[in-house]
Copies of this chain bind each other. A is one copy, B any other.
Amino acid sequence: MAWASGEGVRCADVRRFGMADPGDVSALRRAIDAGEVDPATIVAVIGKTHGNGLVNDYTRGYLRQSLALLIAERTGRTPEDVVARVPFIFSGGVEGVLSPHYAVFTVAQATAGGPAPSLAVGVAGTPDLEPQDVGRARQIASTADAVRRAMHGAGLAPEDVHLVQVKGPAFGAAEILAAAQAGREPASLHPGTLMAFGRAASALGVASALGEVDAEADLERAVLSDRTVYSRRASVSAGSEIRNVEVVVLGLGAAWRGPLTIGHRGLADALDLAPVMELAAELGLEPAPQVPAAQAARIRAVLVKCEPQRDGMIRGRPHTMLNDGDIDAQRHVRGAVGAIVASVLNDTALFVSGGAEHQGPDGGGLLAVIAERQASPLHGHGFGSAGA
């Protein structure tokens, strides 16, 4: 994580690339080879892959391996070194209209003046966690510490932050049971439930670092228990391809220059249409009701968090997401909220992640959009297509 706070004026860029499958990194390869992306400046990749987004989703690891190989090859580093330096935050599940893609975040020294504040990016990671750490004080504290380091690295104060994207570890049934049998009791023996504990704890860690919760609160006790305690700017996912917690802090920094800005809104529930429109309007995207294609081309990344309301209701009527044994509730809600956001933004390459425990109120969520301030002739629509 090379970009310490004292290094002068920086510029962040974000470009999304499509992929035919999780092994297809041809679009980024072409962009690198065309000089459009300097691989040495890549600080994070956030993406949405083809899998189910649950414990047995191996598409996240496949894309991670594929990108690490490409970036290693083009930078002269080893894949292991690339993985250690660059957070790869992938969420599986492109339900409904969603499109598989990855967004590449780069940070370079600013080469030209420009308006400030601009998009700022900070990254950091925690040490590895074990099953018994998930959902507990250790995960909360280490996540909070990573967020603070990422903010410091980016020169951001808590109030400058628009979104903290977090990826934490997930464990399979066998590892969980092994920990329990060794006397290191995990918070749950159920792999999916333990994933929820992990998302919850990291979200509370973000809330702590951003000062959104009382510094004296017993946050471990609140995990999956007191839903009134939450962050309004955390988006957390989990996956078995990593062992530690990786954080990417996104905000507007006074010491950053560049063409990109970011905004965010909380979503009160899965049908909360108005904030989507408001955020689009705030970014000058002219939703009427849909952002026209010419304006949508300015969008560089969209990050959404959502979850099913736990009482099984929405707007006074029952939903069935939580009782479905065939399709996981998170797949249902990603498809629904993703479609609503896509229909307004006229963009389907959205990062939509389910499981919003302590990331907004019960059943609610979060939306952040990174966009060019105005149409940039240089970068075009910033979306590379897959395949040959």
Contacts and interface: CB of A to CB of B under 8 A. Distances in A.
A22 B97 contact: no
A173 interface: yes
Interface string A337-367: 1111011101111000000000000000000
A190 interface: yes
A174 B271 contact: no
B62 A97 contact: no
A280 B172 CA distance: 34
Nearest to A69: B69
B317 A349 contact: yes
Interface residues of A, number: 87
A176 B193 CA distance: 16
Contact of A100 (B55, B277, B318): B318
Contacts of A324: 55-56
A319 B193 contact: no
Interface string A189-201: 1111100000000
Nearest to A240: B21
Given A270-B97, A335-B336, A21 B61 contact: yes
A289 interface: yes
Work out how many copies of this chain go into the complex: 4
A158 interface: no
A294 interface: no
Given A58-B62, A310-B173, A325 B192 contact: yes
A289 B274 contact: yes
Given A18-B317, A335-B332, A54 B325 contact: yes
Interface string A47-84: 00011111111110110011001000000000000000
B325 A55 contact: yes
Contacts of A173: 310-312, 322-323
B290 A336 contact: no
A228 interface: no
A290 to B, nearest CB: 5
Interface of A: 18, 20-23, 50-59, 61-62, 65-66, 69, 94-101, 172-174, 177-178, 181, 189-193, 240-241, 270-274, 277, 287, 289-290, 293, 310-315, 317-328, 331-333, 335-340, 342-344, 346-349, 383, 386
